[in-house]
């Protein structure tokens, strides 16, 4: 089908078929971006051809629960890599890229963003008067502009400038109306629809990379309902398409303040991290956000030493957090999980860091962790990808 399709046409055509996970997988299986006889994905070539002066672009998938400050962090990351001299050129390129994917007119865009705001971390961060520290960080990272992609169809507004935006292609409000869906179902369906056109996004990114017009970092913002992205067929299509084209790192944004309130909350976040790592097999960087409110050092200590975590559980129980019955079972389960998964947490701590999405503290360390994960840990993903390709070709 022609790429030049207005927003409402994409949605109207979809009403004639059931947009469930199985149909989405069937649609995408017919659209092979690589020839059957092609032995290796493009990411292998890009890694082999990269040089210290011209490294391969790194794709950063930013994932986090609603309220973790994920979208505000996206804004801070973009600011830390902003090329002030090229702002006008970047704005022109962003408009061009979105038009290539969306096509047609802008009908239906007035309705976009009028949803009820499912992702609570889309609120723009407050303006900080203490700009000297941020300016120094921006100057240090100057020359590394980030290319942002928004994959959250339900957000009202974003505090950063996306080069490619799912809202320009899929109208979330119309999906809810036409398919009689709730907020989460509409997000899932919107991702399913976008997955059917994501090969065009990959083509745009590849063309820009081949022309050396793509920056070092591709920042991808995802929905706050993380299960809609990490555990769906469309989410797997999007993440695997990016990972087979560019070195890709997944960032899990954790609310440090909530972890400080309860060791059980910390354990829940670690289980989420393990499940996403198991699902995607991508290098994982755990980013403890909101360090301007609460230091993340206690989280790092809990990850390195399970005995420290056990002591924290004892303290929480003595203060009335753990009791009999169900609470006692929950406490016992948390202790067992901390012992069983201690090896994984110790490994995760190597790629963990603390940042503040508001003040910008820890951003430099964050970029170091991203580069390290993309250069070292991503090799394991490449080996696994080659093995899967060989199995499919056998």
Q: What class, spelled out in words, does domain 253-320+329-380 have in CATH? A: alpha beta
- Strands across the sheet containing 146-150: 164-165, 146-150, 217-221, 58-64, 248-255, 284-289, 352-354
Q: What is the pLDDT of residue 150?
A: 97
The top-level CATH class assigned to 64-82+142-246 is alpha beta
Quote the CA–CA distance of 66 and 226 in Å, as a whole number.
8
Q: Which of 214-218, 286-290, 327-331 has the highest mean pLDDT?
A: 286-290
CB of 158 within 8 A of CB of 72? no
> Residue 29: exposed, middle, or buried by beta-carbon count in 10 A (0-12, 13-18, 19+)?
exposed
pLDDT in tens, 115-172: 444 444 444 555 544 444 444 444 444 445 689 999 999 998 999 999 999 999 999 9
The predicted structure's pLDDT at residue 266: 92
- CA-to-CA distance for 252 and 232, rounded, in angstroms? 17
The answer to whether residues 113 and 157 touch, using CB atoms and an 8 Å cutoff, is yes
Stretch among 96-110, 137-151, 271-285, 336-350 having the lowest mean pLDDT:
96-110
Give the H or E element holding residue 221: strand 217-221
pTM of the model: 0.76
Q: pLDDT at residue 257 above 70?
A: yes
User: 69 or 5: whose pLDDT is higher?
Assistant: 69
Res. 327 pLDDT band, cuts 50 70 90 = low
What is the band of 107 on the pLDDT scale with cuts at 50, 70, 90? very low
336-367 tens-digit pLDDT: 888 887 777 778 888 999 999 999 999 999 99
Domain ranges of the chain: 64-82+142-246, 253-320+329-380
- DSSP classification of residue 373: I
């Amino acid at each position: 089908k022609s790429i030049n399709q207005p927003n409402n046409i994409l949605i109207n055509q979809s009403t004639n078929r059931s947009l469930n996970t199985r149909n989405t997988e069937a649609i995408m299986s017919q659209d092979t971006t690589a020839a059957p006889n092609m032995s290796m994905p493009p990411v292998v070539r890009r890694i082999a051809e990269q040089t210290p002066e011209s490294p391969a672009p790194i794709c950063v998938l930013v994932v986090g629960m609603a309220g973790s400050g994920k979208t505000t962090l996206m804004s801070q990351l973009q600011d830390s890599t902003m090329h002030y001299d090229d702002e006008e050129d970047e704005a022109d390129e962003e408009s061009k890229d979105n038009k290539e994917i969306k096509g047609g007119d802008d009908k239906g865009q007035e309705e976009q963003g009028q949803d009820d705001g499912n992702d609570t971390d889309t609120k723009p961060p407050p303006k900080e008067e203490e700009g000297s520290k941020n300016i120094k960080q921006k100057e240090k990272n100057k020359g590394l502009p980030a290319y942002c992609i928004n994959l959250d169809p339900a957000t009202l507004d974003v505090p950063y400038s996306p080069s490619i935006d799912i809202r320009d292609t899929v109208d979330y409000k119309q999906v809810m109306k036409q398919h009689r869906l709730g907020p989460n179902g509409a997000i899932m369906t919107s991702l399913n629809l976008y997955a059917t056109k994501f090969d065009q996004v990959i083509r745009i990114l590849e063309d820009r990379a081949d022309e050396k017009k793509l920056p070092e970092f591709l920042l991808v913002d995802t929905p706050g309902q993380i299960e809609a992205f990490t555990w769906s067929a469309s989410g797997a299509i999007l993440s695997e398409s990016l990972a087979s084209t560019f070195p890709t790192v997944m960032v899990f944004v954790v609310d440090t303040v909530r972890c400080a309130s309860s060791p059980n909350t910390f354990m829940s976040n670690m289980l989420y991290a393990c499940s996403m790592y198991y699902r995607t097999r991508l290098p994982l960087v755990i980013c403890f956000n909101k360090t301007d409110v609460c230091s993340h050092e206690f989280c790092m200590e809990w990850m390195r030493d399970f005995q420290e975590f056990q002591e924290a559980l004892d303290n929480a129980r003595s203060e009335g957090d753990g009791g009999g019955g169900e609470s006692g079972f929950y406490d016992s389960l948390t202790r067992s999980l901390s012992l069983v998964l201690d090896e994984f947490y110790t490994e995760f701590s190597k790629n963990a860091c603390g940042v503040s999405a508001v003040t910008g503290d820890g951003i430099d360390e964050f970029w170091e962790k991203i580069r390290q994960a993309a250069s070292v840990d991503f090799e394991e993903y490449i080996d696994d990808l080659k093995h899967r390709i060989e199995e499919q070709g056998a």
